[in-house]
């Protein structure tokens, strides 16, 4: 009885505060970008404001789309899973989106790039229990205790990421409402704030989701199944470039508009040409590079550091302040950090710890890095020309250019795009490119 009284009081409290925040008693719908490298969840209130929900573990807006399956059956998601990549590479699944809805024979190139084993379905209830069958759905072999193996599908991996984000939404709303201040320290309700949300009519179980424009029916269906396994009902499926354009309200303009969406994330580049006429939106053309993204620029920076080390183009310091070694793995961590800093600085320094106990100090200039990455930049611009050529268009037809994905912050890429389209064309970068797709998915809701 005491539990029911406490729940009833909490329901009244939750309802009142949520109503004041703009949530008026309907099941809440979130917008989710289940990305290759990072995933993002956004929530829209009835007053039109959109907010990105932080990860309930780290507080970050971006959740790494990484899942570790430990030998004891425990599952880790996000940053804690990323930390396992060096310790348990064969159990840590990343880039699962590249395999979702695809058969083993279609992913041979992607399979070779990862430390974990990509195999066909070998579960007992599989119609084709053959790990080597090229026609079998692609998945991952995870070794358990006792040398047994478990087959995990990309759908399973996606469901773990979605379920984690769903918990983040519930936790975030609970923190905003300061529920903890109204409960006893060890109350059962404290551990289950979603109980009060459901009772008050604010269940977080519906989503607008996004998929790449190049996804076919199998990939799209598998993505939807990942959400359903996580307990989410898919209300609408948007193509990612459409969501990006909606984030900027480009669908609300008058007349016909042609929008080019340039999406370059950690591992892939997608360029899409959209036709927009009011709420009517269609993708006219898609081109890209499935093996070009921010990680490739990280590798190029690492190679630059390695070449400097081999040539002796470094300073030697007696102090041992470097956190990373001068081995390849340590240089890769330094490379990613240096690349990011060069987006806002013209020159940066970094250091590694050599085997002789002394530090090696590198100086890297932005121009030096851009010259070393010239082939990557050339590849990055090729899909832009292709989507225009496919529609026999010139840049004169393009009204807006939207940049999406973390690697789109690279100054040289923005410079090349601006030069390509001319100074009169605006590059939309006002919204954080990492969250644009999820923002658009949430924005589409009435």
Kindly report, residue by residue over 358-410, the tens digit of the pLDDT: 999 999 999 999 999 999 999 999 999 999 999 999 999 999 999 999 999 99
Pairing status of strand 427-428 against strand 400-404: parallel
Distances (CA, A) of 86 to 91, 115, 217, 351, 416: 10, 10, 35, 21, 36
Q: Which residues are catalytic?
A: 33, 97, 240, 263
CATH of the domain at 50: 3.30.420
Question: Are residue 52 and residue 81 in the same domain, yes or no?
Answer: no
Q: What is the pLDDT of residue 205?
A: 80
Among 129, 157, 185, the domain boundary falls at 157
Question: Are residue 221 and residue 190 in the same domain, yes or no?
Answer: yes
Q: Domains in the chain: how many in total?
A: 4
- The answer as to whether 435 is a domain residue is no
159 vs 50: CA distance, rounded Å: 24
pTM over 0.75: yes
Question: Are residue 165 and residue 191 in the same domain, yes or no?
Answer: yes
CATH of the domain at 273: 3.30.420.40
Question: Are residue 177 and residue 229 in the same domain, yes or no?
Answer: yes
Question: Are residue 120 and residue 6 in the same domain, yes or no?
Answer: no
- The answer as to whether 434 is a domain residue is no
Question: Are residue 215 and residue 317 in the same domain, yes or no?
Answer: no
- The answer as to whether 77 is a domain residue is yes
Q: What is the pLDDT of residue 383?
A: 98
* Owning domain of residue 268: 252-292+377-429
Pairing status of strand 233-239 against strand 204-211: parallel
Rounded to the nearest 5°, which phi and psi values hold at 143? -80, 130
Question: Are residue 90 and residue 209 in the same domain, yes or no?
Answer: no
CATH of the domain at 341: 3.90.640.10
CB neighbours of residue 301 within 10 Å: 25
Question: Are residue 47 and residue 192 in the same domain, yes or no?
Answer: yes
Q: What is the pLDDT of residue 26?
A: 47
Quick one: DSSP state of residue 103? Answer: B
**How many helices (H) and strands (E) in the chain?**
14, 20
- The answer as to whether 247 is a domain residue is no
- The answer as to whether 436 is a domain residue is no
Q: What is the pLDDT of residue 124?
A: 60
Question: Are residue 221 and residue 95 in the same domain, yes or no?
Answer: no
C-beta of residue 436 within 8 angstroms of C-beta of residue 408: no
Going through 145-203 in order, the beta strands assigned E by DSSP cover 149-152
C-beta of residue 93 within 8 angstroms of C-beta of residue 122: no
If the chain, 446 residues long, is cut into consecutive pieces of 10 residues, what is the mean pLDDT of each piece? 52 52 59 96 85 96 96 94 90 95 92 91 68 83 84 97 94 62 50 53 79 96 98 96 95 89 94 92 94 93 96 90 90 94 97 93 97 97 98 96 96 97 93 97 83
Kindly report, residue by residue over 28-47, the tens digit of the pLDDT: 789 999 999 999 999 987 77
Q: How far from the centroid of its chain's Cα atoms is residue 68's Cα?
A: 17
Rounded to the nearest 5°, which phi and psi values hold at 99? -110, -10
Q: Give the list of residues 6+ apart from residue 439 with CB closer than 8 angstroms, or none.
A: 31, 42, 50, 52, 243, 247, 431
Question: Are residue 162 and residue 149 in the same domain, yes or no?
Answer: no
Q: What is the pLDDT of residue 201?
A: 47
If we measure between CA atoms, which residue out of 325, 435, 305 comes closest to residue 38? 435
- The answer as to whether 246 is a domain residue is no
Among 157, 177, 195, the domain boundary falls at 157
Q: What is the pLDDT of residue 171?
A: 83
Question: Are residue 14 and residue 120 in the same domain, yes or no?
Answer: no
Question: Are residue 75 and residue 52 in the same domain, yes or no?
Answer: no
- Sheet containing 117-119: order of strands: 117-119, 139-143, 149-152
Among 157, 178, 201, the domain boundary falls at 157
Q: What is the pLDDT of residue 278?
A: 81
């Amino acid at each position: 009885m005491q539990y029911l009284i406490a729940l009833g009081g909490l329901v009244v409290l939750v309802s009142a505060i949520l109503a004041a925040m703009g949530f008026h008693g309907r099941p809440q719908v979130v917008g989710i970008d289940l990305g290759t490298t990072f995933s993002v969840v956004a929530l829209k209130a009835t007053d039109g404001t959109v907010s990105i929900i932080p990860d309930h573990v780290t507080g970050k807006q971006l959740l790494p789309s990484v899942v570790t399956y430990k030998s004891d059956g425990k599952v880790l998601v996000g940053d804690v899973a990323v930390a396992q990549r060096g310790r348990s590479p064969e159990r840590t699944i990343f880039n699962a989106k590249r395999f979702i809805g695809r058969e083993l024979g279609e992913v041979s190139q992607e399979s070779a790039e990862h430390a974990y084993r990509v195999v066909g379905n070998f579960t007992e209830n599989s119609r084709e229990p053959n790990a080597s069958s090229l026609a079998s759905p692609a998945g991952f072999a995870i070794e358990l205790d006792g040398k047994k193996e478990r087959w995990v599908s990309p759908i399973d991996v996606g469901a773990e990421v979605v379920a984690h984000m769903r918990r983040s939404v519930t936790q975030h709303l609970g923190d905003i409402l300061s529920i903890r201040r109204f409960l006893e320290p060890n109350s059962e309700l404290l551990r289950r704030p979603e109980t009060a949300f459901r009772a008050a009519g604010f269940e977080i179980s519906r989503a607008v989701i996004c998929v790449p424009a190049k996804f076919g029916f199998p990939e799209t269906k598998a993505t939807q199944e990942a959400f359903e396994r996580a307990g989410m009902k898919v209300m609408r499926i948007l193509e990612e470039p459409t969501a990006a354009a909606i984030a900027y309200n480009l669908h609300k303009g008058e007349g016909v508009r042609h929008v080019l969406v340039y999406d370059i994330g950690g591992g892939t580049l997608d360029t899409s040409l959209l036709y927009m006429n009011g709420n009517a939106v269609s993708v006219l053309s898609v081109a890209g590079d499935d093996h070009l993204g921010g990680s490739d620029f990280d590798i190029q920076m690492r190679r630059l550091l390695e070449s400097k080390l081999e040539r002796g183009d470094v300073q030697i310091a007696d102090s041992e302040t470097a956190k990373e070694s001068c081995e390849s793995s340590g240089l890769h961590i330094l490379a990613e950090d240096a690349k990011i800093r060069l987006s806002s600085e013209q020159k940066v320094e970094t250091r590694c710890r050599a085997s002789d106990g002394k530090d090696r100090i590198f100086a890297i200039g932005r121009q030096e890095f851009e010259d070393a990455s010239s082939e990557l930049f050339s590849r990055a611009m090729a899909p832009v020309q292709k989507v225009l050529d496919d529609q026999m268009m010139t840049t004169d037809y393009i009204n807006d250019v939207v940049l999406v994905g973390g690697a789109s912050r690279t100054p040289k890429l923005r410079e090349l795009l601006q030069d390509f389209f001319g100074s009169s064309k605006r590059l939309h970068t006002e919204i954080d490119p990492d969250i644009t797709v999820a923002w658009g998915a949430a924005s589409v809701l009435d």
